[in-house]
Structures are given as structure tokens and as C-alpha cells.
Amino acid sequence: MRQRPSDVPTLPLPSLSEPSGAPLPDEITPLLGNRTPRQFMRRYWQKKPLLIRQAIPGMSAPIPRDDLFELADLDDVESRLITHFRNTWNLEHGPFAPDELPSVRKREWTLLVQGVNLHDERAHALMNRFRFIPDARLDDLMISYATDGGGVGPHFDSYDVFLLQVHGKRRWRIGAQRDLSLKPGLPLKVLQHFEPGEEWVLEPGDMLYLPPHIAHDGIAEGECMTCSIGFRAPSARELTAQFLYHLAERAGDESNAGKADVRYRDPAQPPVAKPGELPALLVERVGAILAKLTWNEKDVAEFLGSYLSEPKANVVFDPPSRALNEQKFVERAKKTGIRLDRKTNLLYNTHSYFVNGEAAALSAKAKKWLPELADKRRLEAKRFVTLTDDSAMTSLLHEWYRAGWIQTDPPA
């Protein structure tokens, strides 16, 4: 049996136990170097890097090294192994059985584990500290483990990232260079010409914020662990493709609901001597069908809410093995309150709510509690009691509970 490494301490962090541990917009916080989130967003977010010493004083790894290795062995966890042995970059995708990882005594390798927040309560609580940024933009918390000299090479990312050192030391070099050309023929993105302008060694609790496209290279000085709190910013191309798909799906729903699906027709098509030629009539008619596509802001919001609350493809919920019936569920929730499962995404706007990719209208009754559940990710017992006279609500929440989307008991 493997032992827990004694060199990766896991100090309790009481302040991280609250599900919504993020600073308020005008609250000065050490997390942002004694700035308020408003100041940070105005001066740095998407604009320039910021080094924050002791963003989280007393920081330790949210999970021990061996537990991270165990996560990397699971099918529903995305992990990558990057080695730089004999000066050669190599990339492998997980899952990794314990004996497939190099020895922790071997230098220059890194294990990256994505979405640790979905599997571990401390990592989830740590990511919640960044909820001064909308959930619709937050992606996940990745943990990288590296042995001495390990790193992923000088590169840039297309997303904002907070790089929080949680164990050991890492030397970061960064530069705002224009030339972002990559070395050809490598299995990972490594810059051809890295020109670092600044350099720091980060210790546990120190954090570096980087906006997109800043060149950076982090090299472990001894064994180290770094948490990357990453964001999502879909490209215009991806958004367009997904939105058009959403519109097409919606059109399908409308036609199923009784409206006739418009299909291409060509009663005026003459016979042809050049069968290979694309008929101009066809182009004109299809153009006319497409020109009828219309949408408004509500459609865009509905698309975004569903798209951005959709769990990633590898996410699997764990429904309760012996689910309580609705009455017992309500009795229990009146005592314990409810909380969203770590994997649940719940967004809302004035008209609708979006839960794990599904959109629904936000009724006047649901407006009283659902935004609170989405913002706090939990409803306290006494708040839950106030909605129990509404059977539509309790039946909806019971459905979510049976699907593993919410729980009544406190987090494990």
C-alpha cells in the first residue's frame, strides 16, 4: 500500500470551508494583494500580469500528492504527463496507473490534472474564492505536480489564469512578447523564442495572475504543486457554430410541436444537360430559407445559459444509491438545507435558469430562491423551509436530488 507523503502538508483552512468564500466587489482582500475585486478587474483583468505575494497566507496543497496521482488514474478525470527527459519534450494523456508515472525521484516531469474542483471539496472551496468573476467565465481548477526542474516549457495561453503556488517553489519567468511563434514538430506548445522580462520565485500562498497571450515559463525548484484557476472564453467561431446548432435544435422542437418544418422544394426545376452543375435556383432558395433565420437577445441568453452550464463531456454525476422519497427528502432538507453538487452548474438571468445544460423559465416563485441557490450554491435549512409549501418547487428539487445534482447533507 502506498503511503501519504509526509512532505506534502495539508493544513486545515477553515476560511475555505464556506461555499461562497469570494470577496465582495468592494472588499479589500489579500487574495488580490490588498486590492478590491473592483480595482483588480479595472486595472489588471485581461490587461496586465500581477504578482501577489501571500495571496493566501498559510496555503498548503488542497490534496496530497498521492491523492492527486489517484485522481489521474480515473477515467472521468482529464490528466496529462509532460516529461522533459534528455532535453526532449514528451506528452501523454491519462488515465495513468500509479506504475505508469515516473518515479518522484526522477527530475523534470509534470503531471497536470484538470477539474480537481469537481472531485475534491478543498479544491472546490479554493476555486470558489474566485467567484468575484462570473461563474459563466470560470472554467476549472487544474493542479500541476512537478519534480525538480519540471515544467511545461515556455508558452502562452489563450485564457486568463491565476497560478497559485500551493506546495514547494516554482520560478516563473514571463514576458509580453509579440512573437508567439511555436517550435514546430513538438507534442506541446513551446515558444520558439522566449524573451522573459520579469522573473520571480513563488512560494506557497504566492500567486501570479496572467491575462491571455503573456509568454510564461514555470520551473519547479524541488518538488512542487501549483493550482491554476482557469477561465473559459469561447472563440467567435465556436460560439457561432454552437449558436447555429442551438437555433437548428430549436427549429426542430418547433416543427415537432406542430409547425411544419420548411423543406427545400423545386417544382419549377427544368431538366438539365449538365447534371454536375449546382443549380442557381437551389442556391437562391436555400439563401431565402436562411434569410428567415432571426433571433433576439433572449435567444442569445438562452443559448449561452444552456451552453455554458453544460457539464464537460467527462462529467458523471453520482445519484444517491438509496434515494429518499420526496416527503423524506423535504423533511431532511428542512433540517440540513441543500447544496449544489460540486459538478452542478446553475446560472440564471431575469427570465430563465439554466441547470447542467437545461433551460427553463424562472417562475415568480422560483425567483425567490433559485438565484440565491445559484449564487451561494446552497440554501440554508430555514430558507428551504420557506419554499416547502410549493409542491412544484419541492418536486423539482427532489428530481435534482435524485439526479445527483443537489445534496442535503454537508460536503464530505
Contact residues for ligand SIN (CB under 6 A)?
A: 110, 144, 151-152, 157, 161, 216, 218, 226, 228
Question: Quick one: 189 or 368, whose CB is closer to ligand SIN?
Answer: 189
User: CB under 5 to 8 A by kind: which of ligand SIN, Co ion, none does 117 bind?
Assistant: none
Question: Quick one: 220 or 333, whose CB is closer to ligand SIN?
Answer: 220
User: CB under 5 to 8 A by kind: which of Co ion, ligand SIN, none does 29 bind?
Assistant: none
Distances (CA, A) of 19 to 134, 221, 380: 15, 33, 12
Pairwise CA distance, residues 58 & 263, whole Å: 64
Question: Quick one: 170 or 246, whose CB is closer to Co ion?
Answer: 170
Question: Quick one: 228 or 394, whose CB is closer to ligand SIN?
Answer: 228
Contact 85, 109 (CB under 8 A): yes
Which of 27, 157, 372, 390 contacts Co ion by CB under 5 A?
A: 157
What are the grid coordinates assigned to 60, written together? 498548503
Could you tell me the smallest distance in angstroms from the CB atom of residue 151 to ligand SIN? 6
Question: Quick one: 130 or 348, whose CB is closer to Co ion?
Answer: 130
Pick the piece of the chain touching Co ion (CB under 5 A) from 151-159, 254-262, 366-374, 388-396.
151-159
Could you tell me the smallest distance in angstroms from the CB atom of residue 161 to ligand SIN? 6
Provide the pairing of β-strand 88-93 with 79-85: antiparallel
Pairwise CA distance, residues 104 & 277, whole Å: 64
Q: Residue 272 burial by CB count (10 A; 0-12/13-18/19+): exposed, middle or buried? A: exposed
**Of 63, 57, 68, 124, which Cα lies nearest the Cα of 95?**
68
Count of residues that bind Co ion according to CB under 5 A = 1
Residue nearest to ligand SIN (CB): 144
- Please count the other Cβ atoms lying within 10 Å of the Cβ belonging to residue 323: 14
Question: Quick one: 16 or 224, whose CB is closer to ligand SIN?
Answer: 224
Could you tell me the smallest distance in angstroms from the CB atom of residue 291 to Co ion? 43
Could you tell me the smallest distance in angstroms from the CB atom of residue 47 to ligand SIN? 18
Question: Quick one: 139 or 341, whose CB is closer to Co ion?
Answer: 139
**Of 222, 225, 221, 229, which Cα lies nearest the Cα of 8?**
225
DSSP 90: E
Alpha helices, DSSP H, located in 296-348: 297-309, 326-336
What are the grid coordinates assigned to 336, written together? 440540513
User: CB under 5 to 8 A by kind: which of Co ion, ligand SIN, none does 226 bind?
Assistant: ligand SIN
User: CB under 5 to 8 A by kind: which of Co ion, ligand SIN, none does 110 bind?
Assistant: ligand SIN
User: CB under 5 to 8 A by kind: which of Co ion, ligand SIN, none does 138 bind?
Assistant: none
**Cα dihedral 88, 89, 90, 96 sign:** positive
Question: Quick one: 94 or 151, whose CB is closer to ligand SIN?
Answer: 151
Could you tell me the smallest distance in angstroms from the CB atom of residue 226 to ligand SIN? 4
User: CB under 5 to 8 A by kind: which of Co ion, ligand SIN, none does 224 bind?
Assistant: none
Distances (CA, A) of 169 to 31, 119, 151, 223: 19, 25, 12, 8
Could you tell me the smallest distance in angstroms from the CB atom of residue 150 to ligand SIN? 8
Could you tell me the smallest distance in angstroms from the CB atom of residue 13 to ligand SIN? 20
Could you tell me the smallest distance in angstroms from the CB atom of residue 218 to ligand SIN? 5
Provide the pairing of β-strand 138-146 with 352-355: unpaired
Contact 54, 68 (CB under 8 A): no
DSSP 279: P
Site residues (vs Co ion, CB under 5 A): 157
